[in-house]
Structure 1
Amino acid sequence: MPDLSGKVAIVTGCANGIGAATVRRLRADGAEVLGTDIDEQGGAALCDSEGARFAAQDVGEMSPWPVIVAEAVGTWGRLDILVNNAGTVSALSIEDVTDEAWDRIYNINIKGTMAGCRAAIKAMKDNPGGSSGSIVNISSTSAMAALPSDVAYCSSKGAVRVLTKSIATHCAKAGYNIRCNTVIPGATDTGILDHAENVTPGLKEAVAATSPLNRLADPAETAAAIAFLASDECAYMTGSELLVDGAMMAIHPGF
């Protein structure tokens, strides 16, 4: 397991799914964690159970980001890790998507991710001992092979991939010891799929079949990849993409 002792992390979308699993994993690896979520009750309960701090946050709003980062730095004196996990879907095609739905998806999935990175880099540059840090942005296999039913989600997650590369190269060329990488999860067993299964029985089984492993990922499996990228064990990895998709993107769709 990566040793994150002495590290301080912020994890967005911590109330459930990959975010909750990431809080658990980073705490198990020794990090202090500030979890955030728009779901105040669920996020606070999860953080309380793991010995983490909680702050209410709608990542689609830009102004709270400096306050969130300041809380972590004010509590522990530094910021080492940011996991931009919070995201949302619209389930609307190009013919059905509204301006309001498009703006909401982009505010949360890409503008919120950008604002988090911007605020985190400012704090990481001022860490005791010199600039240092690791940012992990969560994209999706839908950024690599699009869903016709959700144009805003797919395109926003595609933007996260390139945003990450731009940040990584900027920090490297500026001489900051700040890395930025992307985790690309495939079909994962989260609350979103549970809700969708209630609407469309059999959906989870169909989604699981898109992976050659013929199962959904456990959120803890994605959290393990996030913890690796957050750690000093991959100090030469920046601007990279780590697929956690059960070979979904590796197989021809006809086989």
Structure 2
Amino acid sequence: MRTVGIIPARLQSSRLPEKLLLNETGRPLIEYVWQVAQQCTALDEVIVATDSPRIQEAVTSFGGRAELTGEFPSGSDRVADIARRCCPDADVIVNLQGDEPELEVATIDSLVTTLRESGAEMATVAAPLSDVDAIQSPDCVKVVVSDNGNALYFSRSVIPFPRGTSVADTLKAATATPWLLHVGLYAYRHDFLLRLTSMEPSTLEELEKLEQLRALQTGASIAVTVIPEAAVGIDTPEDYAAFVKRETSRSR
């Protein structure tokens, strides 16, 4: 099964402008994810899909492949454009997030294995969530998974909802948290990705502002691989400063 990893890399970011080019560590942020992807035995090729000649130049400078795309409403659409134009022979397309520099190789390999071994059209990742504020925050997307490992629903709301008690009390009483944080990493069967991105946004997707609900609402299956801990994404200046501090400590 030919598997291609594609990293959508938009130049502009509302909370942290041009974050993928930040290089206080001596390397642009985008390079970290590219290097992790390069180490994955499950990926046959890695391509950066970008709207910016500056990002393309940065990727080329460290030996990567970057393809320019037009303007698209989402990263998934950008990934689909490259999948269609540059790797029509691929069986599986993995959508990697360029702002997760501490992503684990094992997470990507596990995701691809999950899709290959399932009958699902796509697969994604989740991690146990036990922080009360995060569970209740609409910025943290939660997922509920069936006994066969497929996603039942994704939501910004608290799902499952602990009726008759609180999130905090549920966590205290449970031996393991019942909440899973959705990690925005996806693997698609090539043809399904092209079909999905050709569809209009669904009603649930527009309500929750979650692209993956389009797939569920069409009746598609999303297999979920659960990892011990989620990587930290870089969304704000504070996130990046903390990453630089961790990276500096690791390099000493």
Query: If the length of structure 1 is used for normalisation, what is the TM-score?
Result: 0.36
Higher relative contact order (CA 8 A, sep 6+): 2
Higher strand share: 2
**Higher share of residues assigned helix:** 1
